[in-house]
Amino acid sequence: NAGVMQNPRHLVRRRGQEARLRCSPMKGHSHVYWYRQLPEEGLKFMVYLQKENIIDESGMPKERFSAEFPKEGPSILRIQQVVRGDSAAYFCASSPTAGEDTQYFGPGTRLTVL
Amino acid sequence: QQQVKQSPQSLIVQKGGIPIINCAYENTAFDYFPWYQQFPGKGPALLIAIRPDVSEKKEGRFTISFNKSAKQFSLHIMDSQPGDSATYFCAANLGDSNYQLIWGAGTKLIIKP
């Protein structure tokens, strides 16, 4: 059973470009969570999605950031017009149900903005 | 009130020693407290978790001690090995009613051979 998959693992963008981060949850999991980790810090919740629905995006910056989890395909975290402050590791986690405490994390995408 | 405070920031222990990492919280509604282990370049992996109805949970060499009245919980690693060197995060959430994990800032643990 493959774990949570994220790609790309490393992404370099110049300021002003767009970054697209993909997450495929574990098989049978329909709940996806995105977190951001700055160097030397813990993870910060960004958004929680179920298939075709955004359940909670309270941790997501109001501008430039968006997320989706379509009926088919991976969840996408999209950052438009990236700035240097967006440089971080972005982790996706999944769980089978909303009430399931355990979240399983992917290996992360390390975004570097030049 | 939604914070989880973790200490120390870093810790160096000799092989065989017992590193102890502490976390404190304010929100008494938290009812699920997991610990995650993260190796460099990898995502966090669940190590062990506890609920407030027990004061201690042991899995292999890893033990969580939980003090509900003090709103503190800690991770102990028995017979520590160099392979345990990693960053450890405590976290908390509201269990069934809340999916958001609130994370501590992490403890970078080094086990010296």
Q: pLDDT digit string (tens) for B14-61?
A: 999 999 999 999 988 888 899 999 998 888 999 999 998 999 999 999
Average pLDDT score, chain B: 92
Cα(B9)–Cα(B15) distance, rounded to whole angstroms? 19
DSSP calls for B75-108: EEETT--GGG-EEEEEEEB-GGG--PPEE---EE
Question: Most A CBs within 10 Å: which of B99, B100, B102, B107, as the mutation test of the A interface?
Answer: B99
Contacts of B43 in chain A (CB under 8 A): 4, 6, 91, 93, 105-108
With beta carbons less than 8 A apart as the criterion, state whether A28 and A96 touch.
Answer: yes
Q: How many residues does chain B have?
A: 113
Q: pLDDT class for A7, splitting at 50, 70, 90?
A: very high
N- to C-terminal Cα separation, chain A: 37
pLDDT tens digits, A71-114? 999 999 999 999 999 999 999 999 887 666 678 899 999 999 99
pLDDT of residue A2: 72
User: How are beta strands B10-14 and B107-112 bridged, if at all?
Assistant: parallel
More confident residue, A97 or A14: A14
Contacts of B44 in chain A (CB under 8 A): 43, 91, 105
Q: pLDDT class for A15, splitting at 50, 70, 90?
A: very high
Q: Given an 8 Å threshold on Cβ–Cβ distance, is B96 in contact with A44?
A: no
Q: Say whether pLDDT at B99 is over 80.
A: no
- Give residue A82's Cα distance to chain centre: 15
Q: Residues B63-91: what's their mean pLDDT? A: 96
> A45, A108, A67, A59: which is closest to B45 by C-alpha?
A108
Q: Residues B59-73: what's their mean pLDDT? A: 96
Q: Say whether pLDDT at B97 is over 60.
A: no
Q: Given an 8 Å threshold on Cβ–Cβ distance, is A33 in contact with B99?
A: yes
Q: Residues B90-101: what's their mean pLDDT? A: 77
Percentage of residues in chain B having pLDDT higher than 70: 95
A107 closest CB neighbour out of B42, B93, B101: B42
Q: pLDDT class for B98, splitting at 50, 70, 90?
A: low
Q: pLDDT class for A69, splitting at 50, 70, 90?
A: very high
More confident residue, A40 or A7: A7
Q: Say whether pLDDT at A1 is over 80.
A: no
